[in-house]
A and B are shown apart, each in its own frame.
Chain A
Amino acid sequence: MSFANIRREDASRAVIVHAILLTYTLVALYPIFLVVINAFKTRKGIFRDPMGLPNAETFSLEGFTKVLAKSNFELFFYNSFTVTIVTIVIVLLLAAMAAWALSEYKFPGNTALALYLAIGIMVPIRLGSVSILNLIVDMGLVNTLTALVLVYVAQGLPLAIFILTEFMHQIPKDLKEAARCDGVGEFKIFFAIILPLIRPAVATVAVFTMIPIWNDLWFPLILAPGDGKQTITLGVQQFIGQYVTDWNAVLASLSLAIIPILILYLIFSRQLIRGLTSGAVK
């Protein structure tokens, strides 16, 4: 077999693979593309030509003006942002410390504790919505962002601990022993040596935690639907009426809602890819 033949086979296989991947990409991106282009159209433009780009006739910023000027959109943004960021910080800190303790220290009940925390991944938290609501009411935390943060932390911890424990196991034992011989205290080992080494895992966990929180409608609707505490998802809902839906406003608010999460994702994504593919810490 000559070299030319082999290369041709590889080339045609590469073309097919790329074609499939491109198709999937288009399928995934197309709905978002539709949302964004239609946010810049007039109402008539949306219904007459939903698939087309906005042209001189149909281009309009009325959706955005309605959302930004007429509704309390900055507040919704702020609430979503606050809940997401605070939750990520708490989850990362607690999960990292728990993962460190579980992977590093031998103590009775280590395995049982790890199992108990992992079960949280298997049980959907929404099954307990009624009990959670009762709990929040009893604590007097209804219509507060605190309630949302608490619930999301509980939701995010099991998976975070699971992922981080696996990464902790990969840190060479010698490093920790060298630090101990160097006279470094346990907390300092954790913050100055371990955390920097599992940065890809931390980024991965951050992304997996923040996306469900940002997109969540369920818990904001149940726990914090009151004025001033609404998140973006609730904010978008108010434009969807029983009889008439203000599509410009809905699409405009959705387009705006994509931006913060996109920025956060871009920040974490470089670390994320490294975390997913390599796994190796050194």
Chain B
Amino acid sequence: MADLKLDQIRKSYGAVDVLHGIDLDVKDGEFVVFVGPSGCGKSTLLRIIAGLEDITGGDLMIDGEVVNTKSPRDRGIAMVFQSYALYPHMTVYKNMAFGLKLDKQDKAAIDARVREAARILQLDQLLDRRPSELSGGQRQRVAIGRAIVRQPKVFLFDEPLSNLDAALRVQTRIEIAKLHQDLKSTIIYVTHDQVEAMTLADKIVVMNGGNVEQVGSPMQLYHHPETRFVAGFIGSPAMNFTKVTIDAVGQGQATVSVPGGMKSVLPFNVDQADIGKQVELGIRPEHLGLGDEGALTVSGVVDVVEKLGDSTYLYLKLANGDRVTVRAPGHSRVKIGETVTASAPAGAAHLFNDKGKAYQKVDCPAEFSAEE
């Protein structure tokens, strides 16, 4: 198990810059998830860590040692691919043993390791089958097993659940979480699904356009997004955004107004210089409750109703054309076409300046904070 350090990692394909200087520290035993939209560079970064791509600039250190020029096998990593990448002409047993045989380990030791991994992943009955005779979930477990037997310093997962159906995804996700608890290994996991990121990670790295937007624990990212992008990316359904103008600034508070609508006083530290600027206000659907008791109120006509059983999502269209999502209780009887009023406490709000950076919230209430 090992530490990982990325120091100003840059990657270019010819004239195209894909990664613009990534800094990251991964502690031994941490489960780090790289998450972001397609094309943000997360898979490229993973492949750079694996040694499958060259580094254009910067240093990569595993356990304190610079490994930029080392081949994948010498870095002590093991990778699980999105497409499983199992050797089709070999049995499950041979697939898992293949890498070990080359290290010239003795047969009994190899056998012991393969069987132990098979036991952990419940593959004991499948050792003599070929990949073509396995289901998707079983193949993925074999791919994980192949990585486990190598006892690597760092596990790398490249969107391993993307090819599985929804139910299997949840099941395998739990198995991966349990695996991390059992093996206590350093894991780096890439996904575009923020639910996987939130549920599995010790630390999430949100990436966008080749840059790191924010690094933090799932709760930190949820409650304290530092940029408008992170706020809109984490959480499903996504946060509601609306443009507001800063009318006045006070001590630890700012007065904002929605165009053509009400004013609200929100607990943020805002610079005097930002008075009159148009900024963005964000509220999560789950923080908006039906009724008008909160400091921030919206009122609109219901466009779409999504009933999920445990909750109901109401998609409102406001008078000024904005769209707002509200999470109502599962038993809600609101119908399409009804006018609904929803409100949220001031402490649930997020404010982002014209460059997308979050204003600092003052006196954040406990239920909207990541502090333990």
A174, B103: Cβ atoms closer than 8 Å: no
- Is B99 part of the binding interface, using a Cβ–Cβ cutoff of 8 Å? yes
Asked, given contacts A188-B102, A196-B89, A197-B89, whether A182 binds B73 with beta carbons under 8 Å apart, the answer is yes
State A130–B85 Cα separation when bound (angstroms).
Answer: 51
Residues of A within 8 A of B365 (CB): none
- Measured between alpha carbons, how far is A140 from B150 in the docked complex, in Å? 55
Does A175 lie at the interface of the complex (its beta carbon under 8 Å from any beta carbon of B)? Answer: yes
**B72: nearest residue on chain A (CB-CB)?**
A181
The CA-CA distance from A282 to B102 in the complex, in Å, is 24
B71 contacts A by Cβ under 8 Å: yes
Contact B85 A178 (CB under 8 A): yes
The verdict on A184 contacting B50 (CB below 8 Å), with A175-B85, A197-B88 known, is no
- Residue ID in chain A nearest B81 by CB atoms: A174
Q: What 1/0 flags go to A152-183 for Cβ under 8 Å of B?
A: 00000000000000000000101101111111
* Selected contact of A177 from candidates B52, B78, B150, CB within 8 Å: B52
- Please name all residues of chain A whose beta carbon is closer than 8 Å to the beta carbon of B89 when the two chains form the complex: 196-197
Give complex CA distance A197, B89 in Å.
Answer: 7
Chain B: minimal CB distance from A278 (Å):
13
Is the Cβ of A183 less than 8 Å from the Cβ of B79? no
**Which chain A positions have C-beta within 8 A of B51?**
180-181
Check B11 for interface membership: any CB of A closer than 8 A.
no
The size of the chain B interface, using a CB distance under 8 A, is 24
> Assuming A196-B89, A197-B88, A197-B89, is B78 touching A181 (CB within 8 A)?
yes
Contact residues in A for B83 (Cβ distance below 8 Å): 172, 174
B87, CB-defined interface residue at 8 Å? yes
A179 to B98 alpha-carbon distance, docked (Å): 9
Residue A185, interface by CB 8 Å = yes
Q: Does any Cβ of B come within 8 Å of A86's Cβ?
A: no
Q: Is A193 an interface residue (CB 8 A)?
A: yes
Residues of B within 8 A of A183 (CB): 72-73, 99, 102-103, 150
Instruction: Determine if B77 and A184 form an interchain contact, defined as CB atoms under 8 angstroms apart.
Output: no
For window 188-214 of A, CB contacts with B under 8 Å fall at 188, 192-193, 196-197
Contacts of A193 in B (CB 8 A): 87
* B146 interface contact, C-beta 8 A: yes
Asked if A180 contacts B71 (CB within 8 A), the reply is yes
Q: In the bound complex, what is the Cα–Cα distance between A188 and B58 (angstroms)?
A: 32
In the complex, A184 Cα to B71 Cα: how many Å?
11
Across the interface, name the chain B residue whose C-beta is closest to A184.
B102
CA of A54 to CA of B247 in the docked complex: distance in angstroms? 112
Identify which of residues 38-82 in chain B touch chain A, using a CB-to-CB cut-off of 8 Å: 50-52, 71-73, 77-79, 81-82
Closest residue to B149 on the A side, CB-wise?
A182
Distance (Å) between the CB of A179 and the closest chain B CB? 8
Q: Please give me the residue from chain B that is nearest to A180 by CB atom.
A: B72
Q: Which residues of A contact B88 (CB under 8 A)?
A: 197, 282
CB pair A182 B99 closer than 8 Å: yes
Known: A175-B85, A197-B89, A282-B88. A181 touches B102 (CB 8 A): no
**Nearest-Cβ distance from residue A184 to partner chain B, whole angstroms:** 6
Chain A residues with CB below 8 A from B81, complex form:
174, 177-178
Q: Name the residue on B nearest A282 (C-beta).
A: B88
CA of A58 to CA of B162, assembled, Å: 74
Contacting residue for B85 out of A177, A185, A192, A196, CB 8 A = A177
Q: How far is the CB of A194 from chain B (nearest CB, A)?
A: 10
**What residue of chain A has the Cβ atom nearest to residue B78's Cβ?**
A181
Given A174-B81, A188-B102, A181-B87 contact (CB < 8 Å):
no
Known: A172-B85, A193-B87, A282-B88. A181 touches B98 (CB 8 A): no
Determine the chain B residues whose CB is within 8 A of the CB of A185 once the complex forms. Answer: 102
* A172, B85: Cα distance in complex, Å: 8
Report yes or no: A181 in contact with B50, Cβ–Cβ below 8 A.
yes
In Å, the complex CA distance between A185 and B73 comes to 9
A276 to chain B, nearest CB (A): 20
Q: How far is the CA of A267 from the CA of B31 in the complex (A)?
A: 53
- Bound-state Cα–Cα, A193 to B102, Å: 14
Tell me the complex Cα distance, A194–B252, Å: 66
CB contact under 8 A between A182 and B52, given known A175-B87, A177-B85, A196-B89: no
**B52 cross-chain contacts in A, Cβ below 8 A:** 177, 180-181
Q: CA A192 – CA B306 in complex, angstroms? A: 53
Task: Give the interface centre of A179, A183, A184 by most chain B CB atoms within 10 Å.
Answer: A183
User: Contact partner of B79 among A178, A184, A196, CB < 8 A?
Assistant: A178
CB-nearest residue of chain B relative to A199?
B89
What is the minimal beta-carbon distance from B18 to any residue of chain A, in angstroms? 18
* B contact residues around A181 at 8 Å (CB): 50-52, 72-73, 77-79
Q: How many whole Å from B153's CB to the nearest CB in chain A? A: 13
In the complex, A192 Cα to B85 Cα: how many Å?
A: 15
Let me know if A182 and B71 touch, CB within 8 A.
no
Choice from B50, B72, B73, B85 contacting A174 with Cβ under 8 Å: B85
Chain B residues with CB under 8 Å of A184's CB are: 73, 98-99, 102
CA distance A174 to B131 in the complex (A): 15
**Chain A residue at minimum C-beta to C-beta distance from B99:** A182
A172 to B163, CA, bound (A): 16
With a cutoff of 8 Å between Cβ atoms, the chain A residues found around residue B82 in the complex are: 174
Q: Assuming the A-B contacts A174-B83, A177-B52, A196-B89, are A182 and B77 also in contact, with contact meaning beta carbons closer than 8 angstroms in the complex? A: no
Q: What's the nearest-Cβ distance from chain A to residue B56, in Å? A: 16
What residues of chain A lie closer than 8 Å to B102, measured between beta carbons? 182-185, 188
6 contacts between A and B (CB under 8 A): A174-B85, A180-B73, A181-B78, A182-B102, A183-B99, A188-B102
A180-B52, A193-B87 are known contacts; what are 6 more A-B pairs with Cβ within 8 Å? A177-B79, A178-B87, A180-B51, A181-B73, A183-B99, A184-B73
The 6 tightest CB contacts between A and B, nearest first, are A183-B73, A182-B99, A178-B85, A174-B85, A181-B79, A181-B72
